[in-house]
């Protein structure tokens, strides 16, 4: 029987390399590198980051003896991920571009291109698991709780899961590096990537300044007293620590009387309300949700769930409620720095049940 063809997303990193190595035993494997963003450069070599990643992917493909294709999605990425992200920041929200990156680029566009190469499935080096039952497909957390990436995959559909493989789901990062080293893969000890999906580890404010120009705003404390100014509320997020290093200025009275750590508690237009560490205004027990997405529509969502407010944040128990088509989530205990625009991802046991944007 002829082997099925799987197109594996090779990023240049060790995770995708080991994913390709593992499924090569069972499938005919084709590698594909996604070029999604070419504006970021290495400050030392002045070379575009994607070219360095592509060279690393080429080395791995050569070692594994698999063909490597280049999928150019830069136009779509800027339109479907970067543009909406900047618009969301402009509106005072804190978006998470990694989630729409998966739902608009990695999975639909990658799958479309993979099918032109004769693929029956696609594979990624994500730390997550897919399980099939009579009710459909389920997305589970990865075995390695320190690397679990199910949060970023929380808006995938049944169709996405149907033709996708996550070969690393039942492995730890240490096991992945051990496998890579054992097979002498050139990138076995390559550092993991950080920062915005495909953009790289660039300071967010620096990235946003290219599109959002400075707009001086007022800093107020939790009592309503003006304590200084900032360059624009859209550069900052709820729960972020404030300071002069963020181009903020403070009046002398505030500087002389405060040796505490202060954080952003709320945005009111272009005014930032700040409070000292652990002040009640930094916490909320109930959050409104919009655009609830359920992974498996055939299953009823349990009322008591565990929630993540950001990637790898500790799971927090709470209840999902619906009233007049509006969803809210009430935590068992108040949570710090719930930022509108970020995703709340809901789990039951180790299965990802649903996700929604916090408002």
With beta carbons less than 8 A apart as the criterion, state whether 158 and 137 touch: yes
Among 246, 144, 155, smallest CA distance to 192 is for: 144
Partnered with residue 348 across adjacent β-strands are: 351
CA distance 153 to 157: 9
> Coil, helix or strand for 76?
helix
Q: Which position among 101, 122, 307, 345 bears the catalytic label?
A: 101
Q: How many CA atoms lie within 13 A of 357 on its CB side?
A: 13
Is position 48 annotated as part of the catalytic site? Answer: no
The alpha carbon of residue 358 and the mean position of all alpha carbons in its chain are separated, in whole angstroms, by 15
* Number of residues that this document lists for the chain: 359
Q: 109 vs 76, 139, 151, 211, CA distance in Å?
A: 9, 20, 20, 26
Q: Enter the tokens of residue 185.
A: 């893969």
φ, ψ for residue 265 (rounded to 5)? -100, -30
Q: At what angle do helices 49-64 and 14-23 cross, to 10 degrees?
A: 30
Q: Which position among 9, 156, 197, 275 bears the catalytic label?
A: 197
With beta carbons less than 8 A apart as the criterion, state whether 60 and 186 touch: yes
* Catalytic annotation, residues: 101, 197
């Amino acid at each position: 029987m002829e082997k099925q063809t799987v197109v594996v997303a090779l990023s240049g990193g060790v995770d995708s390399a080991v994913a390709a190595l593992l499924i090569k035993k069972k499938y005919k494997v084709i590698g594909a590198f996604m070029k999604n963003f070419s504006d970021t450069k290495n400050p030392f070599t002045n070379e575009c980051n994607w070219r360095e990643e592509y060279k690393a992917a080429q080395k791995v493909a050569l070692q594994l003896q698999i063909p490597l294709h280049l999928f150019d999605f830069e136009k779509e990425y800027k339109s479907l991920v970067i543009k909406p992200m900047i618009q969301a920041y402009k509106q005072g929200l804190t978006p998470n571009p990694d989630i729409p990156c998966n739902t608009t680029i990695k999975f639909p566009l990658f799958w479309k291109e993979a099918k032109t190469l004769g693929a029956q499935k696609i594979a990624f080096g994500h730390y997550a698991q897919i399980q099939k039952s009579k009710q459909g497909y389920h997305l589970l957390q990865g075995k390695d709780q320190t690397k679990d990436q199910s949060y970023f995959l929380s808006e995938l559909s049944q169709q996405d899961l149907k033709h996708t493989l996550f070969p690393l789901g039942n492995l730890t990062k240490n096991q992945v590096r051990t496998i890579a080293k054992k097979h002498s893969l050139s990138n076995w000890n390559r550092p993991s990537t950080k920062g915005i999906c495909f953009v790289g580890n660039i300071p967010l404010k620096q990235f946003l300044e290219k599109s959002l120009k400075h707009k001086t705003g007022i800093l107020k404390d939790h009592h309503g007293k003006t304590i200084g100014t900032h360059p624009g509320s859209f550069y900052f997020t709820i729960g972020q620590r404030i300071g002069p290093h963020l181009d903020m200025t403070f009046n002398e009275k505030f500087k002389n009387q405060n040796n505490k750590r202060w954080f952003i508690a709320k945005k009111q237009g272009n005014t930032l309300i700040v409070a000292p560490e652990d002040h009640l205004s930094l916490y909320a027990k109930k959050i409104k949700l919009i655009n609830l997405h359920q992974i498996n529509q055939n299953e009823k969502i349990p009322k008591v769930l565990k929630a993540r407010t950001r990637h790898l944040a500790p799971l927090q128990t709470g209840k999902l409620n619906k009233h007049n088509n509006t969803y809210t989530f009430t935590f068992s205990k108040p949570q710090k720095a719930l930022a509108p625009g970020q995703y709340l991802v809901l789990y039951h046991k180790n299965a990802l049940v649903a996700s929604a944007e916090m408002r």
